[in-house]
Amino acid sequence: MRPIVEYNDYRVYMADFYEERKRTSAFTWREFARIAGFTSPSYLKLVCDGKSSLSRVAMNRVAVAMGLVGYEIDYFEAMVNFVNAQKDDVKKEYLDKMAAISAANKVRLIDENAFEYYESWRNPVVRELAPMMPGAMPGEIAKKCCQTVSAQEVRKSLNFLENAGFLKQTRENVYEQTDKAVAGSKEALPFAIRMMHREMGRLGIESIDQFNAEDRHVAGVTLGVNREGYEEIVKELEACRKKIISIAASCGKLDQVYRLNLQFFPLSKKVKGKLEE
C-alpha cells in the first residue's frame, strides 16, 4: 500500500487500507467498524462510498484503527478536513498543512506541485512564454506579460517550474517544456483547477477593457435547455476545446500566449412542471 502522503482523499486511503487488509486476511467492514469503535457495521463503507463523512471525533478513531502513528495521524486528520471543507480558502489551509507535514518528514506530497502550478496565472504563462524567448532574462519575460509582474516573481516562477519538472533549462536562460500538457491526480486536480478558473475568469473580465476588439474575442448567448441538451452542448464544447488544442499544437514559431475560457453555466433554477397559463 502506498504511503499516506501519496493520498489527497481520505476515502481513497481508507478503501485501499480495507482492500489491503482483506487481501491478506479475513477482514470485513464489520471488523473495521468494530476496531474503530463504531456500532454500525456499514458506517465506514458508507464513508468510503461517499455517502457519509468522517466527523472530527471519528477521524482520530479511524486513524488509530488503521495503525497510523505520529505525523501519519496528523496528515490523515488534515486530509479529512481538506476533503470535508466546503470553502476553497479552508481547503487551501489544510492542503498547506498536509504539505508542511510532508516536508517536515522529508516526504514529497503527491500533486503538491500541481496545486502550486495552478495557484497563480504566472506559472502557466511563464511556462509558455519562456521557451518562446531563448536567452531572455526574467525582467524581459516580465515585460512581455500583459498583467503586472516583477522580474523577481518571474524568476521565482521559473525556479518552481524547473524544480517541479514543468520546464527544462537546456542552456543558460534557455528553456523547453518537458511535456505539452500538465496533469495531476483525479483527487487533487478539481480543487487546484478551480483556483485557476477563478483567476483566469477574473483576467477574462479585465480583458474586455484592456484589449482592442481585434486582439480578443468575447461572445456569449443566453438560451433555454434541458439536461439532455446541456450534456450535448458540453460534448460539443469539449470537442471544440480539443480541436483548438490541436490547432495550437500545429502552429509553427510561437510568438504570443493566449488563454481560452469556455464557460457555460446556469442563470436560473430548474423550472419543474408545466406552468399554467
Grid coordinates given for 121: 496565472
- Residue pair 125/257 in contact by the 8 Å Cβ criterion: yes
Sign of the alpha-carbon dihedral angle for 195, 196, 201, 202: positive
pLDDT value of position 165 = 83
Q: What is the pLDDT of residue 181?
A: 59
219 near 260, Cβ under 8 Å?
Answer: no
Local structure of residue 167 (DSSP, 8 states): E
- What DSSP string runs through 5-39? GG-S-HHHHHHHHHHHHHHHS---HHHHHHHHT-S
The pLDDT of residue 36 is 93
Q: What is the pLDDT along the chain (277 residues), one digit of tens a residue?
A: 778 888 889 999 999 999 988 887 889 999 999 999 999 999 999 999 999 999 888 999 999 999 888 888 999 999 999 999 988 889 889 988 998 888 776 655 546 666 778 878 899 899 999 999 999 999 999 999 998 999 999 999 999 999 888 899 999 999 998 876 565 555 556 667 777 888 889 899 999 999 998 999 888 899 899 999 999 999 999 888 888 877 887 788 889 999 999 888 887 888 876 555 5
pLDDT at 134: 93
Quick one: 156 exposed, middle or buried, by C-beta within 10 A (0-12, 13-18, 19+)? middle
Looking at residue 111, what is its pLDDT?
61
| CA dist 157 → 98, 103, 108, 123, 167 (Å) | 22, 20, 19, 6, 10
In contact, 11 and 50? CB cutoff 8 Å? yes
Domains and CATH numbers, the chain: 4-108 (1.10.260)
Question: If you count DSSP H runs as helices and E runs as strands, how many of each does the chain have, helices first?
Answer: 12, 2
pLDDT score recorded for residue 14: 96
Quote the DSSP letter at residue 176. E
